[in-house]
Amino acid sequence: MAAKKNGCFTRLLLLANIAWVLCTLLSFFSDNIHPQVFWPSLFVGMIFPILFFGNVLFLLFWIFRKKWFFLLSFACLLFTWQGVNLFYGHPFKKMETGKEGSFTVLSFNIHASGLVSKKRAPELKEFIQELDPEILCFQEYNSQVKKKISFQNYPYSSFKPSQAIFSKYPIEQEGIIKMDQGQNVSNGAHWADININGRTIRVYNLHLYSNRISGMMEDLVQDSELEDIRDKETWSETRTMLAMVKYSSMVRAKQARAVNRHALASPHPVIISGDFNDTPHTYTYRTLAEGRKDAFVEKGKGFGFTYRMIIPFLKIDFIISDPEIKVLSSKIISSDLSDHKPILSTFVLPPN
């Protein structure tokens, strides 16, 4: 009888392993799926880190049980290994510093309303002074922060509602990209052509359309109890959140295509930075990163998760550059000033 139960448990676990592998593969390829075709791919791509490490556990379990079934997860891990680089950088990457002609770019969603309400705006200035990057790209930057903080070390600037680019180098031109803003005009994109020692680059500062469900998720987690799962109000809120995610994912896909078209037409090498509000295994990220370098993938070390709130394993902030711009270093900086972590990357332009 015990042997029969053990065999049944093994078969069920094997089926779970097969399903887990299939979900991992779907997650790995989710960046090829347009939200209009299958919008839930957003969620599947979001949990790739969990799915990947789940396969590690299955692998170890089957090896411990001395079953050949370990080959399922082993093959899956080999096939999807490249996806790990998108959120984890091995610790042996060599970072280059002090190279002549190099410059640093900081991208940071500062959550200005939170900084102002908590009276922490002056801390942002100290934080920036300590890092001292040449180019700053802020998202969720508003007039209240602008009144409270002046960046004297940055004589050049470009503004869009809720966004700002500050530079120590001259800004030659600037502009806003016209694209689908969805229902939130505070999101969007702008750019600035910056002259760095006689060479011009175009820097994009993006804040793509937000899901705007963080507050709703926190309420559900804090207020809902296990017995409330079947409650009509809980299901109503869940359906509302899913509808919002579906809508916002389609808006971001349109925005990403608009930014990519604009960047491809740029007469100068480009750096695309900002809050994409999508993870690496999504259509939005693939549209903007394909054919370009993700600074964290090139030089980042450790886990690259940038969002600090209710879901702790999300990487939704990026700095991406054209291939001819060399990435010297990149790091996610630990900070509690915002619900996002800033990214600081160092670049150098190729010789003339």
Domains of the chain in sequence order: 2-84 (no CATH), 102-212+239-348 (3.60.10.10)
DSSP-derived 3-state class of residue 225:
coil
% of the chain with per-residue pLDDT over 70: 88
Q: State which H helix or E strand residue 28 sits in.
A: helix 2-28
Q: Using one digit for the tens of pLDDT, what is the confidence trace for 194-237? A: 999 999 999 999 999 987 655 444 444 445 544 455 565 555 66
Q: What is the pLDDT of residues 229-253, one digit of tens each?
A: 556 555 566 777 788 888 889 999 9
Higher pLDDT, 200 or 144: 200
Helices (H) and strands (E) in the chain, counts: 12, 14
Count of CA atoms in the C-beta half-sphere (13 A) of 322: 19
| 255/272 Cα distance (integer angstroms) | 13
Question: Helix 2-28 vs helix 70-84: angle between axes, to the nearest 10 degrees?
Answer: 20
Distance CA 293, CA 322 (A): 6
| C-alpha to C-alpha distance for 342 and 333, rounded to whole angstroms | 6
Helix (H, G, I), strand (E, B) or coil at 206: strand
Sign (positive or negative) of CA dihedral 344, 333, 338, 116: negative
In degrees and rounded to multiples of 5, residue 230 shows phi and psi of: -90, 5
CA distance 307 to 342: 10
Pairing mode, strands 188-196 and 293-294: unpaired
pLDDT digits (tens, 9 = 90+) for 174-188: 999 988 666 566 788
* Three-state SS letters, 260-281: HHHHHCCCCCEEEEEECCCCCC
Note whether 259 and 271 are within 8 A (CB): no
Percent of the chain with pLDDT over 90: 62
